[in-house]
Chains A and B, each alone.
Chain A
Amino acid sequence: MAELTPKERMAIPRHKMPEQDPNERIKNFLEVNLGYDEETARREAERCLQCKKPACVAGCPVSVKIPDFIKMIAEGKYKEAASILKEDNALPAVCGRVCPQEEQCEKVCILAKKGQPVAIGYLERWAADWERRTIGLQIAETKPKTGKKVAIVGGGPAGLSCAGDLIQMGHDVTVFEALHEIGGVLIYGIPEFRLPKEIVRAEVDGLKKLGVKFVTNYIIGLTETVDELLQRFDAVFLGVGAGLPYFLGVPGEHLNGVYSSNEFLTRVNLMRAYEFPNADTPIFNIKGKTVVVFGGGNTAMDAVRTSLRLGAKRAIICYRRTEAEMPARVEEVHHAKEEGVEFMLLYAPVELRGDEIGNLREMVVQKMQLGEPDASGRRRPVPIPGAIETIPVDVAVVAIGNGSNPIISSTTPDLKVNKWGNILVDENTMKTNKKGVFAGGDIVTGGATVILAMGAGRKAAAAIDEYLKNPDIW
């Protein structure tokens, strides 16, 4: 086939992601997006203009060589496409599904100026899925053993990507995870219908094959301290995530049926409450009930859509700003709407009320309007005096973010943290103030994204490698 002209490429419309029908998918926990087929992936890849100075690469937090991997897909060289992706992104099958592409690479795609950007995320996902399903995850070459030992604390994206790089550099790597399963938020937070757990498990298996050791049920700080780790490891990476749920602080928050999003999602995802009683962990019986979720981020969308799948009759997002300020990925908001989620925008909860046995019965909400911009540059919601409403609800999920879990900082007194408990690091090396200890991911930035956590893990791996070669550089 002759090379397409830019005009011909631009004439191809962006390919839609095939997905489960909304009426069907709210009855199951299977993935909503079904993925392109090969033909569609190649056609979509042909839309890329192969810019000389690709804005998309600059828009990617880890500078994935986007035009290069897309070119490989267009040419049918899928294995190469996957391997180019993995040069910069340790978890392409995950990021292709959960990155906010519309805020990053796709936002600055040249095609977005005139029409619709290349579906970079869908193509990333496709290449990574192709590899996993067709030829199996390709095991990277590892350098000769160095005999140096590194402890990775936390099995989320930051820890996993750091472990992956270090093992390839020839170091001896052990990951310590507090929970009984590896994956961090990818396992306990993000639901199956958005990120099948099989993908995370395949990544973990790949790391095991490379020789990474995993120790679950092991809490650094409690089971063993950072200082003790330093006695048997040459370096330590802390990727412990955020992990301390914020509550609203309104009356009635301790009624039965009120959950933090962490608890709600952990019960369903990690503990599989949706299989109850075949799995032992229960969750409030939501069938035919009304569920409200407070918040407007990915976590809120995950919780509200989970509640539909648990049989909620009415599922409501209650957010104190407008849709434009919602931090959630556009696709999640879109999917939520398709599935029948109601959006109560510019409403803030002021009270939760229960019945005589302590079950949640109704919420009292305050209508807001947008006022002056606040510190984040977003217009601050202010109450409209007297505009109070009462709405019957049975379950409420609070998804307004996470602070930093203090287990590490309280048991490592000489580790410097800021006033919110985030570990302070050197931005280029992820070094903390404590010799031999590095940190990255949500524990450093506060709740952010998978790609940033992954990038931080890799940055730390490079610096740890340097440090192991020459500990005097500290």
Chain B
Amino acid sequence: MNKIVEARFLAPEVKLFRIEAPKIAEKRKAGQFIILRVHEKGERIPITIADSNPADGTITIIVQGVGKTTRLLNTLNAGDSILDVVGPLGKPSHIEHFGTAVSIGGGVGTAIAYPTAKALKDAGNYVISIIGGRSKDYVILENEMKQIADEVYPTTDDGSYGFHGFVTDKLQQLIDEGRIIDFVLAIGPIPMMEAVAKVTKPHNIKTVVSLNPIMVDGTGMCGGCRVVVDGKAVFACVDGPEFDAHAVDFEILKQRNRVYRNEEQISLHELECNYDKMFNEELKKQKEQ
């Protein structure tokens, strides 16, 4: 049982939790994640450790409610507990002094990119952060990024805030302006990461993406999280989750992430039927915040 000490919404359906996990707080490095479970019959889901505070023994996670488990999780509040939390899992991000590094986050991907962007800054890089959202409400962590990045560019698909366009349009603009970019980190929906890889490939810019295959144990025991990189199958939970964007087979990743689409709909429907009330209250609170 891991107690939640702080919980607040950052954007619609995107909630930040600070939870007690002293060992993990002490150990974790940028790029690593946890696996959690919210109830006895719950699924094990991976969530990135966005930040940690070894002094008070807490870790921060930022969760986007997309299906049953994440939405259930987002109904929890300070004082509640998360049943199971295990980690830190995965390889830490590879951090070095590249020169100029661009961190691109799409949606909740910004939360996943944040700790690595911070580590890149600490390693002496000039960090440019691009934060993508559907519209103004979906741009998250802008203030946090401003603390650690040298330049921050919010982008929105509808132009309601910041740069009007996709994160790739902003990246392309920087390249076209003749900015020298030595490293790109791109985390978000698969089509976004794929698009970033396409933009950077012709310019030979080293690009890393964080993959989000379906996981179970997170220790290399089941092979469910296998992804194809450089034509070889590797396990994202132990060999990743970060990989060279130009070597990833995105088609296989997309296909494998579709496998339970029907079951995910069933779960969500069931949750909505049972938790309608809970949700309405949650939404009300969200609006108030």
| Distance, CA A280 to CA B222, complexed state (A) | 18
Cβ of A219: which chain B residues have Cβ within 8 Å of it?
86-87, 89, 219
Given contacts A216-B84, A256-B256, contact A245 B43 (CB under 8 A): no
Q: What 1/0 flags go to A277-289 for Cβ under 8 Å of B?
A: 1111110110000
Q: What 1/0 flags go to B67-109 for Cβ under 8 Å of A?
A: 0110000000000000111111100000000000000000000
Interface of B is mostly: mixed
Do B217 and A407 have beta carbons less than 8 Å apart? Answer: no
Cβ of A357: which chain B residues have Cβ within 8 Å of it?
255, 258
Cβ of B224: which chain A residues have Cβ within 8 Å of it?
259-260, 263
| Distance, CA A278 to CA B262, complexed state (A) | 15
Judged by a CB distance under 8 angstroms, whether B140 is at the interface is no
B227 (CB) vs chain A CBs: closest residue: A254
Question: Which of B85, B219, B264 has the most CB atoms of chain A within a 10 A radius of its CB?
Answer: B219
Judged by a CB distance under 8 angstroms, whether B10 is at the interface is no
Cβ of A223: which chain B residues have Cβ within 8 Å of it?
23-24, 27, 86-88
Judged by a CB distance under 8 angstroms, whether A427 is at the interface is no
Cβ of A179: which chain B residues have Cβ within 8 Å of it?
217
The segment from A57-65, A193-201, A265-273 that touches chain B is A265-273
Could you say which of A180, A255, A256, A405 contacts B221, with CB atoms under 8 Å apart?
A: A405
Do B216 and A218 have beta carbons less than 8 Å apart? Answer: no
| Distance, CA A358 to CA B66, complexed state (A) | 23
Do A254 and B256 have beta carbons less than 8 Å apart? Answer: yes
Judged by a CB distance under 8 angstroms, whether B15 is at the interface is no
Within 8 A of B (CB), among A296-316: none
Could you say which of B216, B223, B252 contacts A271, with CB atoms under 8 Å apart?
A: B216
Do A277 and B37 have beta carbons less than 8 Å apart? Answer: no
Within 8 A of B (CB), among A143-191: 178-180
Cβ of A407: which chain B residues have Cβ within 8 Å of it?
219-220, 238
Determine how close the nearest CB of chain B comes to the CB of A374; give it in whole angstroms: 26
Judged by a CB distance under 8 angstroms, whether A390 is at the interface is no
Judged by a CB distance under 8 angstroms, whether B288 is at the interface is no
Judged by a CB distance under 8 angstroms, whether A406 is at the interface is yes
Do B255 and A256 have beta carbons less than 8 Å apart? Answer: yes
Judged by a CB distance under 8 angstroms, whether A262 is at the interface is yes
Given contacts A180-B37, A217-B84, contact A245 B262 (CB under 8 A): no
Judged by a CB distance under 8 angstroms, whether B151 is at the interface is no
| Distance, CA A285 to CA B23, complexed state (A) | 38
Total cross-chain contacts (CB, 8 A): 115
A275 (CB) vs chain B CBs: closest residue: B41
Do B263 and A266 have beta carbons less than 8 Å apart? Answer: no
| Distance, CA A337 to CA B69, complexed state (A) | 39
Judged by a CB distance under 8 angstroms, whether B278 is at the interface is no
Judged by a CB distance under 8 angstroms, whether B259 is at the interface is yes
Could you say which of A254, A278, A405 contacts B220, with CB atoms under 8 Å apart?
A: A405
| Distance, CA A217 to CA B83, complexed state (A) | 10
Cβ of B158: which chain A residues have Cβ within 8 Å of it?
none
Do A271 and B44 have beta carbons less than 8 Å apart? Answer: yes
B252 (CB) vs chain A CBs: closest residue: A254
Cβ of B89: which chain A residues have Cβ within 8 Å of it?
219, 222
Cβ of B247: which chain A residues have Cβ within 8 Å of it?
none
Do B223 and A260 have beta carbons less than 8 Å apart? Answer: yes
Given contacts A253-B233, A280-B43, contact A245 B222 (CB under 8 A): yes
Do A271 and B256 have beta carbons less than 8 Å apart? Answer: no
Determine how close the nearest CB of chain A comes to the CB of B206; give it in whole angstroms: 25
Determine how close the nearest CB of chain B comes to the CB of A124; give it in whole angstroms: 30
Judged by a CB distance under 8 angstroms, whether A224 is at the interface is yes
Determine how close the nearest CB of chain A comes to the CB of B82; give it in whole angstroms: 10
Do B221 and A262 have beta carbons less than 8 Å apart? Answer: yes
Cβ of A178: which chain B residues have Cβ within 8 Å of it?
86, 217, 219
| Distance, CA A376 to CA B3, complexed state (A) | 53
Do A267 and B216 have beta carbons less than 8 Å apart? Answer: yes
Within 8 A of B (CB), among A229-276: 243-245, 247, 253-257, 259-260, 262-263, 266-267, 271-272, 275-276
| Distance, CA A124 to CA B7, complexed state (A) | 53
Cβ of B260: which chain A residues have Cβ within 8 Å of it?
282, 284
Determine how close the nearest CB of chain B comes to the CB of A299; give it in whole angstroms: 13
Do A276 and B263 have beta carbons less than 8 Å apart? Answer: yes
Do B233 and A247 have beta carbons less than 8 Å apart? Answer: yes
Do A272 and B220 have beta carbons less than 8 Å apart? Answer: no
Judged by a CB distance under 8 angstroms, whether B267 is at the interface is yes
| Distance, CA A239 to CA B100, complexed state (A) | 46
Cβ of A224: which chain B residues have Cβ within 8 Å of it?
23, 27
Determine how close the nearest CB of chain B comes to the CB of A321; give it in whole angstroms: 24
Within 8 A of B (CB), among A399-442: 405-407
Within 8 A of A (CB), among B216-273: 216-217, 219-224, 226, 228, 233, 238, 252, 255-256, 258-260, 262-264, 266-267, 270
A sample of 22 cross-chain residue pairs with beta-carbon separation below 8 angstroms, ordered by A number, consists of A180-B37, A180-B44, A216-B84, A217-B85, A219-B86, A219-B219, A224-B23, A224-B27, A243-B219, A247-B223, A247-B226, A247-B233, A253-B233, A263-B224, A271-B43, A277-B263, A280-B69, A281-B43, A281-B216, A282-B260, A405-B220, A407-B238
Q: Other than the known A222-B89, A253-B233, A277-B263, what 12 A-B pairs have Cβ atoms closer than 8 Å?
A: A179-B217, A219-B86, A254-B226, A256-B255, A262-B221, A266-B222, A277-B266, A282-B260, A284-B259, A285-B262, A285-B263, A358-B258
Residues of B within 8 A of A (CB): 23-24, 27, 37, 41-44, 68-69, 83-89, 216-217, 219-224, 226, 228, 233, 238, 252, 255-256, 258-260, 262-264, 266-267, 270
Residues of A within 8 A of B (CB): 178-180, 216-219, 222-224, 243-245, 247, 253-257, 259-260, 262-263, 266-267, 271-272, 275-282, 284-285, 357-358, 405-407
Ranked 9 nearest A-B pairs via Cβ: A282-B263, A358-B255, A263-B222, A217-B86, A279-B41, A280-B43, A256-B259, A260-B223, A263-B224
